[in-house]
Chain A
Amino acid sequence: MAVRIEPRQEVPAKHLTRPRRARWRPSQGVRSAAASAVLLAVLFVLVQIGVATGALRQTGLPVPTDVVGSTLGLLGTGAFWSDFGRTCLEIGASIAAGCALGFGAGIVFWKLPLLGRVFEPYLVSFYAVPLVLFYPMMIVLVGINAGSIIILSSVMAAIPLALNTRTGLQGIRPVHLKLARTLQCNARQTLFSIAIPAAAPMIVAGMRMAVVYALIGSIAMEFTTAQNGLGYRIRYLYETFDNKTMFAYILVVLILSVVLTVLMALVERVLLRGRR
């Protein structure tokens, strides 16, 4: 039901026949990172040459080195930090509210299966984001401000987490719950010491999706209409034909999302430490 990236299964044969002093070989992660860095560098050089020779004139792309330069220039301006701060506030608030809401809802739906079954079709279909389309309704109700963006982004972030929490809790092996009964755990102990740790991989996968949804939701809504924020600024700069600054802002959004993705991968590694 939920998109979930399984950890790769290692081939055990390699470990069995490992020589005492193997030739040093970088791990899969390091090789992957190096390969993507090479790909990005090649792309950068190709675009640089293409724009410089005029072969890409039709695409309206600026020279990549110029974009890097104007991005660095942005960091010294107060206007940039005000946009950046507003977007970070929205993303942070919706991650916090969305995780609390989704986690709570997932537990309630697990405890009360009837309620869970009734809401399931709504969760499953709203999970695929048509919620962004409610934004024009939200700005009529709440106004064009960070509030309406945070409310919708929180709901968007909460849904995958609620679904994953419920699925994870339902998938606990019965022997774990039997253990809880044997040890005479009370309801709170059963939930926090047995059930949630047992369902942790699914819950953390849901959290990663919640973060991605909060980010995508916030920026997409700013892009539609807002008064402030990175998404809004990109649209504004497009409409005022300030191509160079616009690309700098786009680069900032790309970097911000990559940083969030990497952070979540680290959080997952810390929270799931000691498994496998």
Chain B
Amino acid sequence: MTRLTKLRESQFAGAAVVALVASAIWQVSSGLSFVIPSPAATAEAFVQNFADPRYLSDIGETAQAVAQAFVIGTVLGGAIGLLLGLSAAARTWLEPLLIAFNGVPKIVLYPVLLPIFSLGGSKIVMGVLFALFPVLINVAVGVRTIPPVYWKLGRTVQASKWQLFVHILLPAIRLPLLTGVRLAISLAVVGVVLSEFFATRFGLGRVVLQAYSHGEYAQMVSTILLLILVAFTMSVLLWRLERRVR
């Protein structure tokens, strides 16, 4: 296989071409309309933001909330998913409610959360609500579709509950679990930032809305791009890991 055909078949090269084409379209359209900041102006705002201590503390605030929401959401989702996968009674009682709640636009509950968890806590709770479901559904389905022969093997070798969990259950559901975790990261970002759009004192969501209302579009676009880039990089890395594990 020659170098050139290899390059043509490389997914990375193709994806990079798509990104380049998108930037070119952006450059052209920024010349047509004054509300679209040019890529250069956006990049400049992007770099300058990192010299601003207030912006850095906003980043820290959002990152902290996202990290907490992600960890709590994954653990909680994994636990409920296990319960649903292992217990038929839990399925009977909880499954319809959970499926229904999964389809609810959770952001409308934000005003309900505010008086209970206050400003700082509500956005974490919202992130948890967003991040919870992909893990929960994937773990529950994964556990339920474990071939029965695995459990028989566990009984044959007289594995303890803990050994069953670590050596049989976890390896068997590793793929759906990874998929759930990958979705949970991006959704935790969305949950936290959407809450910051609504009401908060610090955080990148507030920066975006403030830049929007002041008409500082380069600042707004650069902050959105920062958020998208972080979520994009994380999920592409996890996705590649997922394919390697398979």
B 187-246 contacts with A by CB, 8 A: 187, 189-190, 193-194, 197-198, 208-209, 212, 217, 220-221, 224, 227-228, 231-232, 235-236, 239
Q: Cβ of B227: which chain A residues have Cβ within 8 Å of it?
A: 130, 133
Taking the complex as formed, is B123 at the interface, i.e. its CB lies under 8 A from any CB of chain A?
Answer: no
A107-142 contact mask (Cβ, 8 Å, vs B): 1 or 0: 000000010011111101111111011101101110
Taking the complex as formed, is A223 at the interface, i.e. its CB lies under 8 A from any CB of chain B?
Answer: yes
A1-36 contact mask (Cβ, 8 Å, vs B): 1 or 0: 101111011000000000000000000100111011
Q: Is A58 within 8 A of B115, CB to CB?
A: yes
Question: Are A32 and B141 also in contact (CB < 8 A) when A128-B187, A134-B224, A136-B208 are?
Answer: no
In the complex, how many residues of chain A place their beta carbon closer than 8 angstroms to a beta carbon of chain B? Answer: 64
Q: Which chain A residue lies CB-closest to B231? A: A130
Question: Are A219 and B100 also in contact (CB < 8 A) when A39-B93, A140-B35 are?
Answer: no
In the complex, how many residues of chain B place their beta carbon closer than 8 angstroms to a beta carbon of chain A? Answer: 65
Give the distance in Å from the alpha carbon of A144 to the alpha carbon of B11 in the complex: 37
Give the distance in Å from the alpha carbon of A260 to the alpha carbon of B103 in the complex: 8
Taking the complex as formed, is B116 at the interface, i.e. its CB lies under 8 A from any CB of chain A?
Answer: yes
Q: Which chain B residue lies CB-closest to A56? A: B116
Beyond contacts A124-B235, A223-B105, A250-B112: 18 other A-B pairs, Cβ-Cβ < 8 A, are A5-B99, A6-B141, A6-B145, A32-B95, A36-B97, A39-B97, A117-B11, A122-B18, A128-B183, A128-B235, A130-B186, A140-B212, A141-B33, A215-B105, A224-B194, A250-B111, A254-B104, A257-B103
Give the distance in Å from the alpha carbon of A128 to the alpha carbon of B191 in the complex: 11
Taking the complex as formed, is B109 at the interface, i.e. its CB lies under 8 A from any CB of chain A?
Answer: yes
B 35-93 contacts with A by CB, 8 A: 35-36, 91-93
A interface, CB within 8 angstroms of B: 1, 3-6, 8-9, 28, 31-33, 35-36, 39-40, 58-61, 114, 117-122, 124-130, 132-134, 136-137, 139-141, 212, 215-216, 218-220, 223-224, 230-231, 234-235, 238, 246-247, 249-250, 253-254, 257-258, 260-261
Query: Which of these, A120, A128, A223, contacts B198 with CB under 8 Å?
Result: A223
Taking the complex as formed, is B173 at the interface, i.e. its CB lies under 8 A from any CB of chain A?
Answer: no
Q: Cβ of B127: which chain A residues have Cβ within 8 Å of it?
A: none
Q: Cβ of B35: which chain A residues have Cβ within 8 Å of it?
A: 140-141
Q: How far is the CB of A276 from chain B (nearest CB, A)?
A: 15
Give the distance in Å from the alpha carbon of A61 to the alpha carbon of B113 in the complex: 10
